[in-house]
Amino acid sequence: MPAIRLHDTVPFQPEQIYQLVADVRRYPEFLPWCSQARVSEERDRQFIAEMVVNFKGFRESFRTIDQLYPYDRITVRLHSGPFEKLENEWRFTAVHGGTRVDFFIDFQFKSRLLNMTLGPVFAHASQTMLEAFRKRAFAVYPVPKGQL
């Protein structure tokens, strides 16, 4: 599967957007398809995240190792689950009027069936996910004056 790169600019500070992405426990509240999320083995800006995803009739759980670089980036790599490969990175860059959010994901399912059925819609799902974080930011943080 090809890697997916997306970006967005939001009128919030990098610290705010970083906190939204780092708060994995709250993903089921706003992230499409995420029905459960847990964090374990927290230490030195790193933790294991376990998520349960329901999508197009598939229910899968997977674990990742999430590495935090406060207010700059978050990297995610596969620990276990239905993926052969999963690499993900979020970058938060201060720009005039807010933050540029860069999202990267590269994945490959272990199952040929999952690659055939979910692979083609993953780009759209990634865009939907980025939009969910945008909406969450607008719901959680007050919009700075003069920004929309």
CA distance to 3, 23, 47, 90, per residue, from 38 (Å): 26, 10, 10, 19
Spell out, as residue ranges, where the chain has pLDDT lower than 70.
1-2, 146-148
The confidence score (pLDDT) of residue 143 equals 85
Closest to 75 measured CA to CA, from 67, 63, 84: 67
| Partner residues linked to 88 by β-bridges | 76, 105
Closest to 73 measured CA to CA, from 53, 102, 48, 49: 102
pTM of the predicted structure, to 2 decimals: 0.90
Provide the token pair at 81.
């689950």
Cβ partners under 8 Å of residue 124, min gap 6 = none
CA distance to 18, 34, 123, per residue, from 112 (Å): 34, 22, 18
Which CATH number describes the domain made up of 4-140? 3.30.530.20
Cβ partners under 8 Å of residue 80, min gap 6 = 62, 63
The confidence score (pLDDT) of residue 146 equals 63
The confidence score (pLDDT) of residue 122 equals 73
The confidence score (pLDDT) of residue 105 equals 93
Residues shown for the chain: 148
From the CB of residue 123, how many other CB atoms can be counted at a distance below 10 Å?
14
The confidence score (pLDDT) of residue 147 equals 59
The confidence score (pLDDT) of residue 104 equals 96
The residue ranges of every structural domain in the chain are 4-140
